[in-house]
Chain A
Amino acid sequence: MDFNFTQDENDFRQEIKDWLSENLSQRISNKVKKFQRLDKNDYEEFMKALSAQGWLAVNWPKKHGGTGWSNTQKHIFEEEIVKAGAPRIVPFGLNMLGPVLMEFGNEEQKKYYLPRILNCDDWWAQGYSEPGSGSDLASLKSKAVDHGDHYIVNGQKTWTTLGQFANKIFCLVKTDTDTKPQNGISFLLIDIDTPGIEVRPIITLDGEHEVNEVWLKDVKVPKENLLGEENKGWTYAKYLLTHERTGIAGVPNSKSAINHLKVIANKTYKNGKPLIQDPLFSSQIAELEIDLKAMEIFNLRAISSAESGKAPVMESSLLKIKGSIIRQKTSDLLRKAIGPQALPYISEQFDEGWNQKTIGPEYAGPLAKQYFIYRKISIYGGSNEIQKNIVAKSEFRM
């Protein structure tokens, strides 16, 4: 056993840090740290800077313009960008579509789409979930009917994250309804400007617009936009799930959230003493900190076993579950820490440039809102219950 990073890895970390301090603009990191709304340009500014440096496609092999980094390097990179307050790297093109294209796309598609993802020319959206198909994804109803050189697509997609910024969407659609649901699905690459497509906002419980509905009515999609073979889409969709997902536990995010919690618990007073000295409250923080430290090691164990070539499929599911619980618990304690200061909801506080006085301390504003929206973490990306089904099926062999 050796818990230390190598000298090369430490140098690598320093290189990332140095680069971030020069290339991540203060304007953006301030917005991220204050939980303000990011617009399309904020995301793209950072992603284009990474792209110019050759660090955007963290998970891609070198031959496609990726970094070719080891899992440990990816982990270090993720830690540093979260610490620096960078916006998240929008994953739909880079981490979801990219690997599927490389594995199953034809040469023309690879040549056309991959560089466009890399240069931030395209903003991809994910068209998987439907109103009637959440956890049971294969039951999806959107349909593509063969019209010779093109399909006509009808249906509705939902939970399309940041779809309001997208110009492309990859969709799972039914191309054969007479067979087992999993066998009749195809994977289509669609231009959002195509007539018949409408993107409508869904406002989430925190009052924000991040996700969307996408309506498809008689949308004409050329056959060359079919990825891989017709009716094999389920295989491609599943490929994503088995693809390495080292960041799934969200360790860096939880770490910075717990640090934030401790700072706030030092600034907040109860009976004349900092809240961090209250045995009841501090015990809850301490338990969480112990859980997180354990998970950090668990995550590193998974990364290190992936490094030796074992795909950490089971570990990914376990880490996703535990990671979501820890993140939710942290946001729960953040909300509790500030007491009644959690009540005011001033939506304008989250717009760039808002400079009025907050009611409580500035840090209080987003905490309650965040607590509510973070309930999504155990729901999206395969709910925790689905993850448990996956583990039970693969590990227990009942």
Chain B
Amino acid sequence: MHFNLSEERKMLKESCDRLLNDHYTQFKNHHEVSSSETGFNKKFWEECSEIGMLSALISPNFNGLGGTGEDIMIVFELIGKHLVVEPFLSSGILSITSLTHSKDIETSVLDEISSASKIYAFGHSEVDTRYDETYIKTKANYKNDAVFLTGQKSFVLNGDFADKIICTARFSGNDFDQNGFGLYEIDKSHCDIRSYNTIDGYRAAELKFSEIPAKELSKNSDAYNALLETLYAGAFALSAESIGAMQVCFNMTLEYLKTREQFGKRIGSFQALQHRMVDIMIEIEQAKSAVMLAAGTYEEDKNTKYKNISAAKNLVGRTGKLVAEECIQLHGGIAMTWEYNLHNYAKRLVMIDHLMGDSDHHLEQFKIYSNY
């Protein structure tokens, strides 16, 4: 038993960290990037691709260089550390997972993603479907050999600048059926798009479409399996991202406690504040441990994999909120300003709990996978 990274992965981590650090220190905060026309920096996205950050998310079976739980954890922790707005979640893990679980998928499609030549986005949520896995109201209409989609997809991350959108749509059954829906690829150019920034400084879009041509990727139980794999891959990646962001919040707060003076002393000398810092420290170590376990069992049977990811996402949801709230409180007034960078991390930590299932959703899932 050991918890160290292999030499190869250590190198991956270091080179990615350096690249992200060099790029992101140019900006005051990530809103500058996400508020640009594209919502992210296309050139920098290509640089990430060049050093293998995208290949690291793809299994060698699809011409990638990684794709294991450990690889995903390493990459996403760094994304959390630097608040990276480039589409690692949307065109990365979500699209990669749904595509690699599609029928007859050609490796060249994954190559297009990993080389940054095509941007994909993933649209499953609809405006009022919350975190329900199979509540899909968008319709798929099969006519002869072709299929056409009608409906609306919401909160599609990077949906405004993606070339292709992968989305869920139903062709039969009730709104909640596990059968009767499929995963489809549609072209962004056919969609009516409303683009916006999210509260935590990322880019998303509402997509509306009516009888637009689509390409079937999977349907019925295959689609259900692909969807679950995708949602769990996303939940796992976000859990790892959260760890990176928590660590930054903790470090910023510790630094602040050492410099800020009140009553003639550094506020870090006050025991009430020290003890709250230790509480956060414990919970961060706990959350980190849960994510490591999810990473270490990512390749195991689905029950174990999903159970551990749900445990991690639940814990990260609880801990992320705690860290966000406590770090703001320990800073005091300065943390309420737009100028001071802490709020960006705090917002991301809290909003991660609004993506791919919140802590309540994953607690329920954990109970199911643990046979309660």
Residues of A that sit less than 8 Å from B by CB: 1-6, 9, 72, 276-277, 282-283, 285-287, 289-291, 293-298, 300-301, 304-305, 315, 318, 321-322, 385, 387-389, 391-392, 395-398
**A3 with B297: in contact, given A286-B370, A388-B275 (CB under 8 Å)?**
yes
Which residues in B have their C-beta under 8 angstroms from that of A277? 372
Partner of B286, one of A4, A286, A322, A391: A322
Partner of B274, one of A3, A318, A389: A389
**B-to-A contact residues, CB < 8 Å:** 1-5, 70, 254, 257-258, 266, 268-269, 271, 274-275, 277-279, 281-282, 285-290, 292-293, 295-297, 311, 314-315, 318, 363, 366-367, 370, 372
Whole-angstrom distance between the alpha carbons of A259 and B205 in the complex? 46
Residue of A nearest to B257 (CB): A398
The interface residues of chain B lying within 8 Å CB-to-CB of A286 are 363, 366-367, 370, 372
Indicate which residue in A1, A296, A389 contacts B3 across the interface (CB closer than 8 Å). A1
The listed residue (B3, B290, B363, B370) touching A283 by CB distance below 8 A is B363
- Which residues of B sit under 8 angstroms from A9, Cβ to Cβ? 1
The 8 Å CB contact of B1, one of A72, A276, A289, A385, is A72
B252 to chain A, nearest CB (A): 14
Known: A289-B370, A297-B290, A304-B3. A1 touches B363 (CB 8 A): no
Contact B274 A276, beta carbon cutoff 8 Å: no
The closest CB in chain B to the CB of A299 belongs to B289
Q: Smallest CB–CB gap between B319 and chain A, Å?
A: 10
Q: Per a CB cutoff under 8 Å, which of B2, B268, B311, B370 touches A1?
A: B2
Interfacial chain B residues near A285, Cβ < 8 Å: 372
Residues of A within 8 Å of B278, CB to CB, are 318, 321, 387-388, 391-392
Contacts of B254 in A (CB 8 A): 396
In the complex the two chains form, is B286's CB within 8 Å of A300's CB? Answer: no
For residue B287, which residue of chain A has the nearest CB?
Answer: A294
Residue of B nearest to A325 (CB): B282
A45 and B348 CA atoms in complex are apart in Å by: 57
- Chain A residues touching B, majority SS: helix
Residue of B nearest to A72 (CB): B1
The answer to whether B282 and A321 touch across the interface, beta carbons within 8 angstroms, is yes
Taking a contact as CB atoms under 8 Å apart, the answer to whether A287 and B363 are in contact is yes
Given contacts A290-B314, A295-B286, A318-B278, contact A398 B268 (CB under 8 A): yes
Chain B residues whose CB sits within 8 angstroms of the CB of A392 once the complex forms: 271, 274-275, 277-278
Q: Which residues of A contact B287 (CB under 8 A)?
A: 294
Known: A282-B367, A398-B258. A3 touches B1 (CB 8 A): yes
The majority secondary structure among interface residues of chain B is: helix
Q: Which 4 A-B pairs have the closest CB atoms?
A: A398-B268, A297-B289, A392-B274, A294-B290
Residue of B nearest to A391 (CB): B278
Closest Cβ neighbor of B73 among chain A residues: A1
Please tell me which one of the listed residues B258, B282, B292 contacts residue A318 in the complex, with CB atoms under 8 A apart: B282
**Contacts A389-B271, A392-B275 known; A287 to B292 CB distance under 8 Å?**
no
Q: Report whether B372 and A294 are in contact in the complex, using a CB–CB cutoff of 8 Å.
A: no
Residues of A contacting B2 in the complex (Cβ-Cβ under 8 angstroms):
1-2, 304
Residue of B with least CB distance to A301: B3
CB distance from B286 to the nearest CB of A (A): 4
Q: How far is the CA of A392 from the CA of B314 in the complex (A)?
A: 28
Q: When the two chains form the complex, which single residue of B274, B314, B367 contacts A398, counting CB atoms closer than 8 Å?
A: B274
Residues from chain B with Cβ under 8 Å of A283 in the complex = 363, 367
- Contacting B282 at CB < 8 Å: which of A4, A5, A287, A322? A322
With A1-B3, A3-B293 in contact, is A396–B286 under 8 Å at CB?
no
Q: CA A398 – CA B361 in complex, angstroms? A: 40
Q: What distance in Å separates the Cβ of A384 from its nearest Cβ neighbour in chain B?
A: 9
CA distance A249 to B5 in the complex (A): 25
13 other A-B residue contacts (CB within 8 Å) besides A6-B1, A287-B314, A388-B279: A1-B2, A3-B297, A286-B366, A289-B366, A290-B311, A291-B315, A293-B293, A294-B289, A296-B289, A318-B281, A385-B275, A398-B258, A398-B274
Most buried by B among A5, A294, A296, A321: A294
CB-based contact A290/B290 at 8 Å? yes
Closest A residue to B318 by beta carbon equals A287
Contacts known (A1-B296, A4-B1, A291-B286); A276 close to B372, Cβ less than 8 A: yes
| A294 partner, pick from B293, B296, B363, B367, beta carbons under 8 A | B293
**Within 8 Å CB of B282, what residues of A?**
318, 321-322
Chain B hits for A385, CB < 8 A: 275
The reply to whether B268 and A396 form a contact with Cβ atoms under 8 Å apart is: yes
Nearest CB in chain B: distance from A362 CB, A: 24
In this complex, which of A282, A285, A298 has the most chain B Cβ atoms within 10 angstroms of its Cβ? A298
B266 touches A398 (CB 8 A): yes
Within 8 Å CB of B370, what residues of A? 286, 289
